[in-house]
Chain A
Amino acid sequence: MAYYPQLVSLIILIPAIGAFINIFWGARLGEKWVGTVATVASALAFVIAVLLFVYLEGSGYEAVVINPPIFDGWIQIPAGEVVIPWQQRVDTLSSTMMLIITGIGTLIHVYSISYMHGDARFHRYFAYLNMFLAFMLVLVTANNFLMMFVGWEGVGLCSFLLIGFWFDKAHGVGWRNTMAANKAMLLNRIGDFGVVMSVLIMFWTFGTTDYFRPAEIVNVHLAEEAAHAAEAAHSEEGAVAAEGEAANKPGDVVLAQEGEGEGAAAEEAHGEEHSTPGVVYVNNDHIETDQLGVFGQAERFLDEGRVIDIGPVQLPFSTWLTIMTLFLVLGVTGKSAQIPLFTWLPDAMAGPTPASALIHAATMVTAGVYIMVRSNVLFYYAPVTSFVVAMIGALTALVAGFIAMGQWDIKRVLAYSTVSQLGFMVAAVGIGAYAAAIFHLVTHAFFKALLFLGSGSVIHAMEHGHHHAHSHGHGHDDEHHGDDHHDAHEEEFDPQDMRNMGGLRRKMPLTFITYLFGTLALAGIFPFAGFWSKDEILADSWVAGFDNNNLAGYIVFIILLMAAAFTAFYMWRQIVLVFFGKPRTEAAEHAPESSRLITIPLVILGFFSLGIGFMNTPSYVLGLDNIFGAHLFTDRLEYSVSKAHASEFNLLIALGATALAVAAMFLANNIYRRSAIIEARRDPLEMLPTTAPFWSLANARMYWDAFYSRVFARPFTRIAYFLSDVVDWRFLHDYFHDVVIWKGFNAAAQGLSKPVDLGVIDGAVNGVGRVFGWLSSQLRQIQTGYVRTYALSLLVGVVLVILVILLPLLQRG
Chain B
Amino acid sequence: MLVLTCPYCGVAACETELAPGGEAHLKRFGPGSSDEDFEAYLFLRPNVKGVHFERWRHAMGCGKWFLAARDTATLEVFGTYRAQTSAPPPEIVAAIQAKRPDWSLT
A binds B: no
